[in-house]
Amino acid sequence: MAPITTLHYLVVGAALFVLGVVGVLIRRNVVIVLMSIELILNAVNLNLVAFSRMWGNLHGQVFAIFIIVDAAAEAAVGLGILIAFFRNKETVNVDEIDLLKW
């Protein structure tokens, strides 16, 4: 079998990215949309770490660590928004979350 090059990892990253984008655009459940956003961030991380190995320095890995930190903060705030909204309207359907103020 051919040795595994950087291109292999980039293809996997691209596949995960496209799956995440499809999830954000298509699903109706807000929690699953947030999980698709996590998929997108993981795809970006995989790209960064693959490039870090390609260039031979650690900048990509440090950036990936910062993205993981950022994803944690974003998941916490996003789910907080979801819970605050759920308390008022009792739904997790994206199509029904369409009022700015009621």
Partner 1 sequence: MNPGMNSGMAPVATPWFFYVLAGMAVISGGLVITLRNAVHAALALIVTLLSVASLYLMLYAPFVTGVQIVVYAGGIMVLFLFVIMLVNIERSSKEHRFNRIWPAGLAAACALLVLFVSAFVKGKALFTDRGMPLPESSNTQQIATMLYGEAGRMGQYTFAFEIASLLLLVAILGAVIMTKKKI
Binding mask 3-42 for partner 1 (x = CB under 8 A): xxxxxxxxxx-xxxxxxxxxx-xxxxx-xx-xxx-xx--x
Minimum CB distance to partner 1, residue 67 (Å): 10
Buried b (16+ CB within 10 A) or exposed e, 48-71: bbbbbeeeeeeebeebbeebeeeb
Residue 70 C-beta: closest distance to partner 1, Å: 7
* Position 89 contacts partner 1 (CB under 8 A): no
Q: What is the C-alpha separation between 68 and 81, in angstroms, rounded? A: 20
Output 56 or 101, the one with its CB closest to partner 1.
56
Does the protein bind partner 1 through residue 49 (CB under 8 A)? Answer: yes
